[in-house]
């Protein structure tokens, strides 16, 4: 059995040899590099305009809360109404007025509790946030003023 003869050396053009070697070096370098961590911190606030993300559209906190409340109320209504409908269909003799009273009572209770919570929310004191960048002393003392006499003299007492 005879072995094939080696091909004659075709590296007569040094430009092709240099390009091939650069390509081999680039591939080796790309395979050797696994990761890179940029040491510069990312800016907290950029110059790009805000872009709406997929999902719920951007809205205020109050609108978000109201939206969630409406979704929950709608889901509760569907569950209560569906249960009443299935009960009336399965029993074939359930009174719609009685079902309305039985299944409507929890809804009325929830509405009454919601109104009570809304009134109680107004009784809470306002929440204040203060942000300081240096040591601060806050004096919360109260002073009472009393002015008496024809020639007004004021006495402030703590």
**DSSP result, 74-112:** HHHHHHHHHHHHHHHHHHS---HHHHHHHHHHHHHHHHH
Residues 106-131 have pLDDT tens digits of 778 888 888 888 887 777 777 788 88
Can you tell me whether residue 118 is helix, strand or coil? Answer: helix
- The residue behind tokens 């080796």 is 28
Question: Phi-psi bin for 55: left (phi > 0), alpha (psi -120 to 50), beta?
Answer: left
Q: 81 CB contacts (<8 Å, ≥6 apart)?
A: 103
Least confident residue range of 67-71, 125-129, 150-154: 150-154
How far apart, in whole angstroms, are the C-alpha atoms of residue 101 and residue 103? 6
Confidence class for position 15, pLDDT limits 50, 70, 90? low
Written as six digits, the tokens of 4 are: 């094939």
Choose the most confident range, by mean pLDDT, from 2-6, 27-31, 100-104, 141-145.
Answer: 27-31
Q: What is the pTM of this model?
A: 0.31
Give the per-residue pLDDT at 158.
58
Token output for 137:
């002393």
């Amino acid at each position: 059995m005879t072995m094939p003869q080696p091909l004659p050396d075709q590296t007569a053009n040094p430009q092709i040899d240099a390009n091939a070697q650069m390509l081999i070096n680039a591939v080796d370098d790309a395979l050797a590099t696994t990761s890179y961590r940029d040491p510069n911190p990312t800016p907290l606030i950029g110059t790009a305009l805000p872009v709406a993300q997929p999902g719920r559209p951007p809205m205020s906190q109050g609108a978000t809360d109201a939206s969630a409340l409406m979704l929950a109320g709608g889901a509760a209504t569907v569950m209560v109404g569906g249960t009443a409908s299935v009960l009336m269909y399965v029993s074939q003799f359930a009174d719609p007025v009685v079902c309305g009273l039985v299944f409507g009572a929890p809804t009325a209770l929830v509405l009454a509790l919601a109104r009570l919570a809304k009134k109680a929310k107004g009784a809470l004191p306002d929440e204040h946030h203060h942000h300081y960048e240096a040591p601060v002393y806050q004096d919360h003392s109260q002073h009472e003023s009393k002015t008496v006499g024809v020639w007004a003299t004021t006495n402030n007492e703590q």
